[in-house]
Amino acid sequence: MRAELSDRATIFALSSGRLPAAIAVVRISGPSTRAALETLMAKLPEPRRAGLRKLRHPQTKDVLDEALVLWFPGPQTETAEDMAELHLHGGRAVVAAVMDVLGIVPGLRPAEAGEFTRRAFENGRLDLTAVEGLADLVSAETEAQRAQAMRQFQGLLGGRAETWRQRLIGALALVEARIDFSDEADVPEDLIGPALDAARELSDEIGLTLRDEHRGERLRDGLVVAIAGPPNAGKSSLLNRLARREAAIVSPYAGTTRDVIEVHLDLGGYPVTLLDTAGVRESEDPVEQEGVRRARARAAAADLVLWVEDVESSAGHVVRKNELKTILKKEWLVHNKADLICSGGVQIKTAEHEFEISALTGLGMDALVAALTGHAAQVFSAGEPALVTRQRHRDTLREAADALGRALALGASASEELVAEELRLAARALGRLTGRVDVEDILDVIFRDFCIGK
Ligand code: GDP
């Protein structure tokens, strides 16, 4: 059960990054925010105006810091509660001293993870898809990810889902009118037909939204490129060279040989995750076998494979033996160690999606990176911006579409009760998508549109 706004705890937290830092921002939200500020300072700044204030310990009167203070009386705030921000000097002891005082103010406690956003959601300031967009915005590593997260935060999917839900409620109102008020003179006879027409349009639109090749999810995760090939071809060297470029935004993690080494790249604003499966090797150890299995599965699910070969051996005939290959859809051929043959004038003729490089000297790397960037751009910028960015969205939309499909299958001659039930299920699924399931408003629509009950 949702607590009344006034008896909720007031929460506080350090909302800025790691200390020490130039500035540390402590946020406060809840009914005792004003009391907290009054404990620390003689006079509150004007609402929504920054004011420089001496923060003092309430007992010793010691000046703890001079801080910029912002006071935001609710409900026009992010959480819809009273809120404040203290912009402190970002030293550990400064922040600790101020947090200690906040901890002894009655009604205050440290916030839990995500609690400010949770309150914003519970108090109706954000819908669920916007909350998810906010989470993505904070974790966005590239420009394209930022743009997609921002669209979600601003309600691209949430707004659409809410419009769909409203239209569905309108259709449902027609059917319910048939059920509840069929003896009334001014209820038109055929209401199921128009309701099903609306359902068909919605079903088409939702279906179209779902046929997006998972672009939204892929943009969140990054385009996955696996580096594979025979031992000593230079796979690790290639990965390291790519990671050392300016484009690399996250250094390789995971140290053990049996794990996949992963590097996140920002290629022209698009996220690309490179996997080096060099460590994938057979083992008797069951724990290692599990690691190998997971590494293989990860690589097998990659969007693209860079198959690396030693240029000297690939000039001849190498039997490519790899079980990954059979499952993979897309593969580019990379002839490595070109430095060994270029001086001798032995040039390999490279076809499209075939590259000649030297991971050692960097030769040919620009062309490879440019091709990867182009490929990412092609995958991510095809078509409209994705509405669906998570499996949860997909599941709830699928649920809504299925219910609409069942309503349509019932047809205009079916029982109103059955059709209404499917439309209700569809509306509920859409309501779950945005996190606001309510059924009360169906009646409101009936009364507004039909003037029944006069
Ligand atoms: P992996 O087993 O496929 O990961 O191959 P490594 O990256 O460990 O490289 C195997 C060996 O080839 C190492 O001794 C590298 O220094 C060497 N090597 C990798 N790339 C090049 C290259 O472009 N030119 C030359 N000459 N040697 C390379």
Nearest to 431 by CA among 394, 389, 400: 400
Q: Long-range contacts made by residues 264-268, C-beta under 8 angstroms, separation at least 24?
A: 264/141, 264/222, 265/372, 266/141, 266/142, 266/143, 267/369, 267/372, 267/373, 267/376, 268/373, 268/376, 268/377
Tell me: pLDDT of 444 over 80: no
Cα-to-centroid distance, 326 and ligand 1 (Å)? 25
Closest-lying ligand 1 atom to the alpha carbon of residue 358: 23
Pairing of strands 304-310, 248-253: unpaired
At 327, the pLDDT band (50, 70, 90 cuts) reads very low
Rounded Cα gap, residues 118 and 131, in angstroms: 8
pLDDT in tens, 66-114: 999 999 999 999 999 999 999 999 999 999 999 999 999 999 999 988 8
Residue whose CA lies nearest to ligand 1 atom number 24: 337
At 142, the pLDDT band (50, 70, 90 cuts) reads very high
Indicate the top mutation candidate among 227, 236, 237 to test ligand 1's pocket, ranked by most ligand atoms within 8 A of CB: 237
Q: Is the pTM of the predicted complex or chain greater than 0.75? A: yes
Residue whose CA lies nearest to ligand 1 atom number 9: 234
Query: pLDDT at position 183, please?
Result: 66
Cα-to-centroid distance, 376 and ligand 1 (Å)? 26
Q: By the 8 A CB rule, do 155 and 127 touch?
A: yes
Rounded Cα gap, residues 182 and 45, in angstroms: 61
pLDDT, averaged across the chain = 83
Query: pLDDT at position 109, please?
Result: 96
At 213, the pLDDT band (50, 70, 90 cuts) reads confident
Considering only CA atoms, give the Rg of the chain.
30
Query: pLDDT at position 232, please?
Result: 85
pLDDT in tens, 260-312: 678 888 999 999 988 887 555 556 677 666 766 776 777 788 899 999 998 87
pLDDT > 90 fraction of the chain, expressed in percent and rounded? 53
Quick one: average pLDDT of 46-59?
98
pLDDT in tens, 418-430: 999 999 999 999 9
Instruction: Give residue ranges with CB within 6 A of ligand 1.
Output: 229, 231-237, 278, 336-337, 339-340, 358-360
Cα-to-centroid distance, 237 and ligand 1 (Å)? 6
Taking CA atoms, 245 is separated from 241, 250, 373, 378, 440, in Å, by: 7, 11, 14, 22, 57
Query: pLDDT at position 319, please?
Result: 43
Closest-lying ligand 1 atom to the alpha carbon of residue 230: 3
Query: pLDDT at position 450, please?
Result: 28
Tell me: pLDDT of 314 over 90: no
Tell me: pLDDT of 121 over 90: no
Closest-lying ligand 1 atom to the alpha carbon of residue 239: 7
pLDDT in tens, 229-258: 888 888 888 988 888 764 444 434 433 334
Cα-to-centroid distance, 263 and ligand 1 (Å)? 18
Cα-to-centroid distance, 358 and ligand 1 (Å)? 9
What residue type is 254 in one-letter code?
Answer: A
